[in-house]
């Protein structure tokens, strides 16, 4: 990327290195795998994001998922503005926490009771602790290439920033912790059966992104999720769907609604906070009543259920619950975008693979069908980097990694989608001359 044209971002990035590790507060933001200078963002509205050099881009990150209605949606801003006048935090229960809990329980099929936390990471760490506490077992099965936040036990064959940075197994995670995380490839039921027979009666849980968005976007094949449900029921293993990405995005009840498979526990984040730092975990009452103070599994948070965050989340969830057309509308936008991308690939006779579910999209730079992490790793990440920068030059800001899903927002108009498709054509022309 032409640094001169992004002078202020370049200066800020250089300054940030002095006091922030790598200049960013979350690794993928640093553009490390695609090269160049990350854009420092000043503001965003609707489908557009504006950087410190006053350039605006159509964008398909949407804060990595939360901004499903587009940026600065009036209903959410109004809710937050109303809440801040009553102080920012109490550390005491509020009626809004009941409202959001009731709404979540009514929207997400598996959730009878729910605990609010501050991030997806906290949600998954807590859900695993409950599963272990409840079953009295230590081990759990994780799917290669799925990302469940940065809790120690999950940083084994982890996707997202961990694989983008080349550290799917992070230093600092002890061998003692790692040995309790058992690994299976996505879409492979036989490997799950094998792990279960090798670790008979030792497995507390199976945690999975039902539709992984952290190794690019990968879809389940051949009733995979239904089979996992059957196996977990048969073996007394707690099935946890990590719907931090897919929750309230694929449908108001998430992937579990779309595939009609009900897990024992569900973890949520991103959209649930409307852009504020919120996560949640929930499930069967019997399991959730194991959480303190109802039960013995400890989990707490000074800012959990924060009134401003709850106001933003409530406004977002109410909007989604009251307007089911959001999902049909987003699905139509997704279809239009992917049809355009496929036509661009066909025009140039390129074998790359596009995946789509609802408003989640991915373009894999490989000629192999991507059904798991090993397939995702056959992609040409260097080529993705070139494509990423060409798209930026053409006014579209994509997630700066091959191993991420693109997230669409409802703010994208038909005209915006035409612009993005034109950018895809122009970018493929420039990198595949």
Q: What is the CA radius of gyration of the chain?
A: 21
Closest to ligand PMP by CB, 129 vs 148, is 148
Name 200's Cβ contacts closer than 8 Å, sequence gap at least 6: none
- Of residues 274 through 303, those in contact with ligand PMP by CB under 6 A are 279
- CB 277 → ligand PMP: shortest distance, Å? 7
Binding segment for ligand PMP among 92-100, 241-249, 254-262, 325-333 (CB under 6 A)? Answer: 241-249
- Identified binder of ligand PMP from the candidate list 269, 307, 334, 399, rule CB under 6 A: 269
According to the binding rule CB under 6 A, does residue 149 interact with ligand PMP?
yes
- Identified binder of ligand PMP from the candidate list 215, 245, 309, 361, rule CB under 6 A: 245
Q: Where are the alpha helices (DSSP H) in 289-324?
A: 307-322
Q: Give SS3 for 322.
A: helix
Closest to ligand PMP by CB, 46 vs 120, is 120
Range 87-95 contact pairs with CB under 8 angstroms and sequence separation of 24 or more = 87/307, 88/306, 88/307, 88/308, 89/303, 89/306, 89/307, 89/308, 90/307, 91/302, 91/303, 93/305, 94/305, 94/307, 94/310
- Identified binder of ligand PMP from the candidate list 96, 132, 142, 148, rule CB under 6 A: 148
Report the alpha-carbon distance of residue 268 to residue 320 in Å, rounded. Answer: 15
Phi and psi of 407, rounded to 5°?
-115, 125
Tokens of 374: 């090993």
Active site includes 270?
yes
**Among 276, 350, 241, residue whose Cα is nearest residue 83:** 276
x/- map, 110-139, ligand PMP, by CB under 6 A: ---------xxx--x---------------
Active site includes 242?
yes
Active site includes 147?
yes
- CB 169 → ligand PMP: shortest distance, Å? 17
Q: For residue 243, give Cα distances in angstroms to 103, 123, 342, 377.
A: 16, 10, 28, 23
> Catalytic: which of 51, 242, 264, 375?
242
- CB 149 → ligand PMP: shortest distance, Å? 3
Q: For residue 350, give Cα distances in angstroms to 72, 196, 365, 380.
A: 37, 41, 9, 13
According to the binding rule CB under 6 A, does residue 209 interact with ligand PMP?
yes
> Catalytic: which of 57, 147, 224, 403?
147
According to the binding rule CB under 6 A, does residue 216 interact with ligand PMP?
no
> Catalytic: which of 270, 284, 333, 353?
270
- Paired sense of beta strands 113-117 and 279-283, if any: antiparallel
- CB 124 → ligand PMP: shortest distance, Å? 5
Closest to ligand PMP by CB, 280 vs 356, is 280
- Identified binder of ligand PMP from the candidate list 100, 244, 271, 288, rule CB under 6 A: 244
Phi and psi of 282, rounded to 5°?
-155, 180
Which single residue brings its beta carbon nearest to ligand PMP?
120
Closest to ligand PMP by CB, 41 vs 426, is 41
According to the binding rule CB under 6 A, does residue 147 interact with ligand PMP?
yes
- CB 118 → ligand PMP: shortest distance, Å? 8
According to the binding rule CB under 6 A, does residue 64 interact with ligand PMP?
yes
According to the binding rule CB under 6 A, does residue 407 interact with ligand PMP?
no
Asked if residue 143 lies in contact with residue 209, where contact means CB atoms within 8 angstroms, the answer is: yes
Report the alpha-carbon distance of residue 387 to residue 420 in Å, rounded. Answer: 13
Binding segment for ligand PMP among 40-48, 95-103, 237-245, 334-342 (CB under 6 A)? Answer: 237-245
Residues shown for the chain? 433
Asked if residue 320 lies in contact with residue 326, where contact means CB atoms within 8 angstroms, the answer is: yes
Which residues are known to be catalytic?
A: 147, 242, 270
Positions that interact with ligand PMP (CB under 6 A): 64, 119-121, 124, 147-149, 160, 209, 214, 242, 244-245, 269, 279
């Amino acid at each position: 990327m032409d640094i001169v044209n992004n002078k202020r971002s370049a200066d800020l990035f250089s300054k940030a290195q002095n006091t922030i590790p790598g200049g960013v507060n979350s690794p993928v933001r640093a553009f490390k795998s695609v090269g160049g200078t990350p854009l420092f963002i000043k503001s965003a509205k609707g489908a557009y994001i504006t950087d410190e050099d006053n350039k605006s881009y159509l964008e398909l990150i949407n804060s990595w998922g939360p901004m499903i209605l587009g940026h600065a949606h009036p209903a959410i801003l109004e809710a937050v503005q109303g809440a801040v006048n009553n102080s920012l935090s109490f550390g005491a229960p509020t009626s809004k926490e009941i409202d959001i809990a009731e709404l979540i329980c009514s929207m997400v099929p598996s959730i009878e009771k729910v605990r609010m936390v501050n991030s997806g990471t906290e949600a998954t760490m807590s859900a695993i602790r409950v599963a272990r506490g409840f079953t009295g077992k230590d081990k759990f099965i994780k799917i290669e290439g799925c990302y469940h936040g940065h809790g120690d036990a999950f940083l084994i064959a982890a996707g997202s920033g961990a694989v983008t940075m080349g550290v799917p197994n992070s230093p600092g995670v002890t061998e003692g912790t790692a040995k309790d995380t058992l690994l299976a490839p996505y879409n492979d039921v036989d490997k799950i059966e094998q792990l279960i027979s090798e670790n008979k009666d030792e497995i507390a849980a199976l945690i999975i992104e039902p539709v992984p968005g952290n190794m690019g976007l990968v879809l389940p094949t051949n009733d995979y999720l239904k089979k996992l449900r059957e196996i977990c029921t048969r073996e007394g293993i707690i099935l946890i769907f990590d719907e931090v990405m897919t929750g309230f995005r694929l449908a108001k009840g998430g992937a579990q609604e779309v595939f009609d498979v009900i897990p024992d526990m569900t973890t949520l984040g991103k959209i649930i906070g409307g852009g504020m730092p919120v996560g949640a975990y929930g499930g069967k009452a019997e399991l959730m009543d194991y959480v303190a103070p109802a039960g013995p599994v400890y989990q707490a948070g000074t800012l959990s259920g924060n009134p401003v965050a709850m106001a933003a989340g409530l406004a977002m969830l109410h909007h989604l619950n009251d307007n089911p057309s959001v999902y049909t509308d987003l699905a139509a936008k997704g279809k239009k975008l992917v049809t355009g991308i496929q036509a661009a690939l066909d025009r140039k006779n390129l074998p790359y693979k596009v995946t789509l579910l609802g408003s989640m999209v991915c373009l894999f730079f490989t000629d192999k069908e991507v059904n798991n992490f090993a397939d995702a790793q056959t992609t040409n990440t260097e080529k993705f980097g070139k494509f990423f920068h060409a798209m930026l030059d053409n006014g579209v800001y994509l997630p700066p990694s091959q191993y991420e899903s693109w997230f669409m927002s409802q703010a994208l108009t038909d005209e915006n989608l035409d612009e993005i498709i034109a950018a895809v054509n122009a970018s493929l022309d420039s990198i595949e001359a």
